[in-house]
């Protein structure tokens, strides 16, 4: 059995992929902090509901009883980029605030650390379940 076929690993992998993509977008914003007319961007947050309702994702809600409510809704196939709005611009008409970007980069790093730690712990639990030492 592949780990990617286990729902928790699939969700954690998707979360880490999203965080890595966000880190690239944020680093692009920082690199263009002095570019005249540049508008900062960010990725829209992944929602747990989106992961559950994704038609091709292995993390699906199973209707195992006739009394269960069937899941509904649709999700997009890719990360949606959003332009940041509501930020002031500097005299060069650039909307990137280095302080805000550094805060977002740090939040993204902490979330990635958490997701990778959860992934590692679940791998250890799987090893323990199949008779290994897990460490």
Enumerate the domain spans of the chain: 3-32+41-129
pTM of the model: 0.66
pLDDT tier for residue 7 given thresholds of 50, 70 and 90: confident
Predicted confidence at residue 104, as pLDDT, reads: 95
Predicted confidence at residue 106, as pLDDT, reads: 97
Phi, psi angles (nearest 5°) of residue 42 = -150, 170
pLDDT tier for residue 26 given thresholds of 50, 70 and 90: very high
How confident is the model over 60-116, as pLDDT tens digits? Answer: 556 667 776 665 543 344 555 555 544 566 667 788 889 999 999 999 999 999 999
Query: 12 with 122: CB under 8 angstroms?
Result: yes
Query: 25 with 39: CB under 8 angstroms?
Result: no
CA atoms 42, 13, 48, 111: torsion sign:
negative
Residue that wins the pLDDT comparison between 34 and 3: 34
Q: At what angle do helices 98-129 and 7-31 cross, to 10 degrees?
A: 160
């Amino acid at each position: 059995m592949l780990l990617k076929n286990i729902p928790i690993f699939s969700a954690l992998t998707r979360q880490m992929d999203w965080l890595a993509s966000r880190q690239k977008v944020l680093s692009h914003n920082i690199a263009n902090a002095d570019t005249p007319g540049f508008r900062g961007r960010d990725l829209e947050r992944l929602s747990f509901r989106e992961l559950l309702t994704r038609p091709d994702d292995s993390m699906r809600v199973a209707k195992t009883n006739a009394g269960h409510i069937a899941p509904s809704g649709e999700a997009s196939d890719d990360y949606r980029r959003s332009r940041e709005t509501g930020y002031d611009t500097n005299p060069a008409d650039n909307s990137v605030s280095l302080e805000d970007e550094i805060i977002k980069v740090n939040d993204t790093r902490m979330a990635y650390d958490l997701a990778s730690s959860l992934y590692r712990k679940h791998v250890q639990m799987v090893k323990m379940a199949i008779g290994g030492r897990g460490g």
